[in-house]
Structure 1
Amino acid sequence: MADDVEQYRAALKRCPPGHSDRPRSLNNLAASLQERFMQRGVPSDLDECIELNRAALLLRPLGHPDRSLSLNNLAVSLRERFTDRGVPSDLDESIELSGNALLLRPLGHHDRPFSLYNLAVSLRERFMQRGVLSDLNECIELNRAALFLFPSGHPPRSHSLNNLAVSLGDRFRQRGVPSDLDESIEFHRAALLLHPLGHSDRSLSLSNLAVSLQERFTQRGVPSDLDESIELHRAALLMCPSSHSDRSQFLNSLAVSLRERFTQQGAPSDLDECIELNRAALLLLPPGHLSTVSLFTQQGIPSDLDESIELHRAALLLRPLGHSDRPLSLSNLAISLRDRFTQRGILSDLDECIELNRAALLFFTPGHSVRSTCLNNLALSLQDRFTERGIPSDLDECIELNRAALSLSPLGHSDRPTCLNNLAFSLGDRFRQRGVPSDLDESIELNRTALLLLPSGHSDRSMCLSNLALSLRDRFMERGVPSDFDEAFSLFLQLPHISHAVSRRDLTVAKSWITFAEDANHDCALIAYQTALKFLDQHVTLLSPSSRHFDVVRMASASLAVDAFSCSIRHGALTTAVELVEQGRAVFWTQLARLSSPFDELSLPGDTGGALATEFKQLSFRLRSTFDKSTEDQSPQIRQLTMQWNDVLSRIRMLPDLSRFLLPPLFSDLQKAAEEGPVIIVNASQHSCDTLIVLRDQNPVHIPIDISRTKVSELSFDFQSVAEQFGSSNHQNTLVGILRKLWHDIVDPVVQALKKSDVQPGSRIWWCPTAEFTLLPLHGAGPYEKGRDNLSQIYISSYTPTLAALVRARQRFSQYTSTQYFVAIGQGNPDSGNELRCVAPELADIAKRLVPIVSSFTSLEDSDATVQGVLDTLNHNQWLHLACHGMPNRQQPFESSFAMRDGPLMDIIRSNWENPEFAFLSACHTTVGDEKSPDESIHLAAAMQFSGFRSVIDWTARGLRWRCTRL
């Protein structure tokens, strides 16, 4: 490059003033200097280039055939200097020169499209700096004209398409006209078609289209836009090898899209993949790269943040006053300091962040496109400091800055709803600090205005609804105006209808409304519970039923079902109580049942119905298999399969008599559980403890329990202690005391109610306990007094975790044959655990009793009782006796297992058993699950039941040798 410059200097010396070739020599030297500036960034090269272009222009007066070329060259070099140094006069002069060049290139001139293109680029640059919408409108019209003159197949056409698409996207953000965004997307698609596989610009086109689709998703909430955006980002990433200069940016863009989908839909796999992509991007960035801040924000690695801050300081020192990138360095350092304050609470970081934001704001003069963002950043940091120190002036300044940012986002601007919400939030803060009613009133009106600007489907609409509802709730608490509460609750009820998927945030909002409604003793509490349970059901549909998601659901659903049951009872809605407690309990088993539900029971007439049934079964199998594998790189596959599965499900529900297929069951469906005997739901809630008897042909019978949940927890704890000390000398008296307490407070009132309902002694009853009651032996309750019967002498007790499980088991049993294929499995010498010497005699006794009466009997012992040997045998037997160690896992209950010769048997629920009917578990700890979430019933006995066994007898239930049938 240096050789070219010197050669052109020598050529210019050979063309003194007056020489006919001097203008051309000036032009050639200017072009070579500009190219060297682009390579090396030496400012003097660009300055000399501009002066040479001016000299060439003077030698090409009006009428000269090459005047338009000189005008264009000078315009381009001035625009380049503006980009480097930010001097406004350079950009204004560039636009004026480009306009003059265009006038000299009328319609038909072969260079007219290039002049149109260059002028459009400069006008967009000025719009970005000063925000004058007329510049942007003219830019768009010039881009349209240039595109018209670049025919199909012309090399610059793709660049023209891209520029037009980008400028339309800019105008959409300013005016909010949906057609601008739609047209922008179509032009990006057209540009992509001109960049086929192998084209150097294909990855950039993919990325541009992906960003526009993500923006449309934000506006309208259509999941397919976000999903396509993610797939386009993936395709762009695949085209960038590890050494590609854009790879880190593409990694980050894909991570942002995945984080957006996680925020909207709550699928943890998206967030997991997002973090891994950010880690990969971080490895490609040199220390101090400006992207370090955004990567830390999603990863939270403290060492990266510390290094980022120090390197941003170093970068700032290299960008003194007057440097075009100084405001960017100020802003980036401020952001990283605020992040560190958020992480560690160092007040000096926050103070410095505020001062840096103030300094950056001075550079972004009124009209600059970034000014509103800088105002917002300063406002946020001041609000942080107010929250930390309570200095009123910080909050007042924050409000004024938010007002200024709002004034820079006029009607139609895509940031206006956000600015309205920010100002509303800070005014709400000031109301809570000073109690000035006008602040709360203005906050509510701002939220109302923001809500009007967010169309149905917009990703921020849910948050805006929540904020407005909470502000109205605050005003109701302040002034007691019923209309505020009614409006607030009506807004809350809109939440289920505006999201395509539910996140944990929606569940949190719903639970806050439950708390408020309960505290206010308002009639809407029951509706709040119903809404929250609907959210829970939708949220769980997006999660694989595995250990890694168990904690997520446990936190989201804690006490929700039992409290909903109590609320329904208090409102006299007994059938609703049954429906809600079913909907909120054992949600993981419910999800597994959805994916495994047999389709044979459905009558689908015609070829269409048969094809639909086949499609549903295939998708259910594929989705469950994908969930089972649970690898992170399968998250796009899970997403796609879930969408297809939901689509088929919607079509099935359009068929006659199938409108509620796989929806939470109604009471009329659940009442079938009582066809062979009453089902007693025993519930412990923080609000009340109740028993509800579900009968075959009557309305439920409610029996209040005069006991608190705290007392139930104490009884449960005492019983667990007794179970762990089984065999000690003093456990008997404690146990009898617990059983007497259960009898007097709970079981005896139930027995009296059963007798009044004509349930004859000797009948079979099913207990369906919730919460802490699941850990107590209700079947063993009794007065233990001379002359009085205990429960076991009055009724035959069985258990079921849910009513739906009992109904489902009986439906499957109706398909069974009368033949009994029985297998007895015993493992007395497992790979871990103590030796069980009684196993061999136990299996011998079982064989002696059963061989004469069953169709087939198989015994599997010791060396034959391996994991694979057991699974193979179970696939061909309907009846099972299992004698071995049970190995519960309290931290990860899905990993609980039976101990076999060569390892743990955990794949119970994934076994493809043929018509399982009866299981007798002669194993320890088979009903030990997660004590923090007893309603999920994630334990070995429940796994056997889910696998299809109609009846499960747990001989060693809860560590005590009582016989209790699970179904």
Structure 2
Amino acid sequence: MASPEELMHAAGLLLLRVVQSGDADALHRAIELLTVARQGAAADPSLQAKLLSNLGSAVLLRFRRTGVAADLDEAVGHLRDAARLAPAGLPERALLLGNLAAALSERFDRRGTADDLHDAVAAGREAVRMARAAGQDPSTLLSNLGLVLQSRYELAGSTADIDEAVTVGREAVAVAPADHPELPRMLNTLCKSLRLRFWLTGDGADMDAAVAAGRRAVELAPGAHPDRPKLLNNLGLALRGRFERIPDRPGDLDEAIQASRQALGMSRPGHPDHANALSSLGTALRIRCEGSDDPADLDEAILLTRQAARGVTAGHPYTAVYLWQLGSALILRFEVTGDMRDLDEALDAWTRAARMAQAPASTRLRTARHAATAAARAHGPAAAAGLYEASIGVLDLLTWRGISRDDQLRLVRDEAGSLATEAASAAVGNGDLAQTVRFLEQGRAVLWSQLLDTRTDLTRLASAAPELARRLRECRTGLDGAPDG
């Protein structure tokens, strides 16, 4: 009978075939071999850790192809056990931590649990540090770290997170061998990081670089490559973003729609990639309709974004984004047809998004404000009062203590004053002067609480003792997130 080491080697060859061709039978056989090998290595912690990590990675690959939630939990469990069992001097320890970070990140994407994301960032940074110290190739680990940093940026809005994501993403692509099997995915991650930073800074060079990275990723993943739907979708997002910056380049939008259609045609219903493709294509069609008034584009956009919102699991953090896009398409059609049913459905979509606790605070705030505007338009100023109350209540959530002081102030400055003014205007229209004053005071209170709250500012400490500041920030974040009682 083959030894555990021989079984692990054979499984590794099968997994390489899976990455290159998506061979489902090879993946099934690799998981079987690793399960048998693990049973024969119980007395060797180092070998057991390697086998558990490989098994977790294989199950994670299966999750990426099937979307079965139990596979994701199983993968995280195996990878946590691998990191726990690995001796301190094990050369593969960096890889084990990197695999854990990737799985935690995917579970966050699926469920929106912030603790998974913070754990993924910590594991990813430690994996990169260990790989560099050991003189190992850090390219995959760097790219995976960029992926979790961009996710945390989307959740909390930290400029430092998205800057670091771009930096490590560029380094990953630069140091990876030209024939690295993960290079398309690395380019895809870099493409998204650059695209996200463009929307923060408006730097057109970032969006041009994002399009270039997205195109190269697609070129390196032809035919039936398992990641091709995701790569096509991300390229479509980058092209659409560049069109929104430079509207006189209609070719970008047409190419974006073509890429999104291809991605949708290759994705499987029920998988998160399918909902992303539905949403991306629907939004691109809505944008094209804004310039052409083609009702067919708009009708299809509404159909697709409805399907996207219904096609994700309950509580998924991306649901709020899909509902935002659905409401935007419905409002556009209402402007054309005057059909109050579209206005009411848009109001319902935005209201549901605003109430989703798992969604990023910025998305909740945006949808609540638009819901309030739609409610006032459909049913009068009185109908908007509760939604404006909810909007102002979300302001505090923008200023997560794990982001920098400058980011906290930027987020509140951009939202607090204008939101309070909108809310007060609606209250005036409703003839409620007491509510008008209350809205203005609430907005001012949020702004001043951030201006005066110097207790939590670690900027000076970070300059003098960065490691101590990092540890204190992690401790404080953990305490802030601890359940009551």
Equivalent position of 2:263 in the other structure: 405
Q: Which has the higher helix share?
A: 2
Answer whether contact 1:502 1:535 (CA < 8 A) is retained.
no
Once the 2 structures are TM-superposed, how far is the Cα of residue 432 of structure 1 from its aligned partner?
A: 2.3
Distance 1:555 1:630, change over 3 A: farther
Does residue 1:446 correspond to 2:337, yes or no?
Answer: no
Corresponding residue SS for 1:197: coil
Answer whether contact 1:130 1:366 (CA < 8 A) is retained.
no
Equivalent position of 2:390 in the other structure: 531
Once the 2 structures are TM-superposed, how far is the Cα of residue 353 of structure 1 from its aligned partner?
A: 4.8
Looking at structure 2, the residues matched to 154 and 185 of structure 1 have their Cα atoms a distance apart, in angstroms, of 18
Q: Give 1:262-341 correspondences, 5 Å limit.
A: 262-266=153-157, 268=158, 271-272=159-160, 275=163, 290-291=173-174
Equivalent position of 2:320 in the other structure: 462
C-alpha distance after superposition, 1:714-773 (max 9, x if no partner): xxxxxxxxxxxxxxxxxxxxxxxxxxxxxxxxxxxxxxxxxxxxxxxxxxxxxxxxxxxx
Answer whether contact 2:351 2:371 (CA < 8 A) is retained.
no
Looking at structure 2, the residues matched to 138 and 260 of structure 1 have their Cα atoms a distance apart, in angstroms, of 33
Letter in structure 1 aligned against 2:117: L
Distance 1:543 1:482, change over 3 A: farther
Answer whether contact 1:256 1:274 (CA < 8 A) is retained.
no
Q: Give 1:547-946 correspondences, 5 Å limit.
A: 549-590=408-449, 624=455, 631=462, 633=466, 634=469, 637-638=472-473, 640-645=475-480, 647=482, 650-651=484-485
Looking at structure 2, the residues matched to 425 and 160 of structure 1 have their Cα atoms a distance apart, in angstroms, of 43
Which structure has the higher relative contact order (CA within 8 Å, separation 6+)? 2
Distance 1:260 1:325, change over 3 A: closer
Structure 1 vs Structure 2 CA RMSD? 4.3
Letter in structure 2 aligned against 1:125: L
Letter in structure 2 aligned against 1:272: A
Q: Which has the higher strand share?
A: 1
Q: Give 1:343-492 correspondences, 5 Å limit.
A: 343-344=203-204, 353=212, 357=215, 364-376=221-233, 379-380=236-237, 383=240, 388=246, 395-492=253-350
Does residue 1:134 correspond to 2:44, yes or no?
Answer: no
Match of 2:102 among 196, 211, 229: 211
TM-score (norm 1): 0.43
Equivalent position of 1:172 in the other structure: 63
Corresponding residue SS for 2:173: coil
Answer whether contact 2:173 2:186 (CA < 8 A) is retained.
no
Looking at structure 2, the residues matched to 545 and 396 of structure 1 have their Cα atoms a distance apart, in angstroms, of 39
Distance 1:414 1:502, change over 3 A: closer
C-alpha distance after superposition, 1:498-557 (max 9, x if no partner): 234754454344444555556667444323322220111322464899677444422211
Distance 1:635 1:507, change over 3 A: farther
Looking at structure 2, the residues matched to 290 and 647 of structure 1 have their Cα atoms a distance apart, in angstroms, of 38
Once the 2 structures are TM-superposed, how far is the Cα of residue 470 of structure 1 from its aligned partner?
A: 1.2
Looking at structure 1, the residues matched to 247 and 354 of structure 2 have their Cα atoms a distance apart, in angstroms, of 38
Looking at structure 1, the residues matched to 404 and 248 of structure 2 have their Cα atoms a distance apart, in angstroms, of 45
Equivalent position of 2:8 in the other structure: 117
Looking at structure 2, the residues matched to 585 and 458 of structure 1 have their Cα atoms a distance apart, in angstroms, of 32
Structure label with greater radius of gyration: 1
Once the 2 structures are TM-superposed, how far is the Cα of residue 236 of structure 1 from its aligned partner?
A: 3.0
Does residue 1:261 correspond to 2:152, yes or no?
Answer: yes
Looking at structure 1, the residues matched to 44 and 365 of structure 2 have their Cα atoms a distance apart, in angstroms, of 53
Looking at structure 2, the residues matched to 368 and 414 of structure 1 have their Cα atoms a distance apart, in angstroms, of 17
Looking at structure 2, the residues matched to 423 and 277 of structure 1 have their Cα atoms a distance apart, in angstroms, of 26
Looking at structure 1, the residues matched to 297 and 11 of structure 2 have their Cα atoms a distance apart, in angstroms, of 45
Answer whether contact 2:424 2:437 (CA < 8 A) is retained.
yes
Equivalent position of 1:507 in the other structure: 365
Deviates more, 1:323-332 or 1:547-556: 323-332
Distance 1:389 1:558, change over 3 A: closer
Distance 1:177 1:229, change over 3 A: same
Looking at structure 2, the residues matched to 324 and 240 of structure 1 have their Cα atoms a distance apart, in angstroms, of 17
Q: List gaps (5 residues or longer) in structure 1.
A: 1-108, 294-314, 596-622, 652-967
Looking at structure 1, the residues matched to 175 and 380 of structure 2 have their Cα atoms a distance apart, in angstroms, of 50
Answer whether contact 1:120 1:138 (CA < 8 A) is retained.
yes
Answer whether contact 2:400 2:408 (CA < 8 A) is retained.
no
Looking at structure 1, the residues matched to 205 and 456 of structure 2 have their Cα atoms a distance apart, in angstroms, of 45
Answer whether contact 2:318 2:359 (CA < 8 A) is retained.
no
- How many residue pairs get aligned? The number is 472
Equivalent position of 1:767 in the other structure: none
C-alpha distance after superposition, 1:800-843 (max 9, x if no partner): xxxxxxxxxxxxxxxxxxxxxxxxxxxxxxxxxxxxxxxxxxxx
Q: Give 1:95-110 correspondences, 5 Å limit.
A: 109=1
Equivalent position of 1:231 in the other structure: 122
C-alpha distance after superposition, 1:676-735 (max 9, x if no partner): xxxxxxxxxxxxxxxxxxxxxxxxxxxxxxxxxxxxxxxxxxxxxxxxxxxxxxxxxxxx
Looking at structure 2, the residues matched to 559 and 138 of structure 1 have their Cα atoms a distance apart, in angstroms, of 58
Answer whether contact 1:173 1:414 (CA < 8 A) is retained.
no
Distance 1:636 1:538, change over 3 A: farther
Q: List gaps (5 residues or longer) in structure 2.
A: none
C-alpha distance after superposition, 1:365-409 (max 9, x if no partner): 432223324433554565467664657676455434322212221
Percent sequence identity is: 29
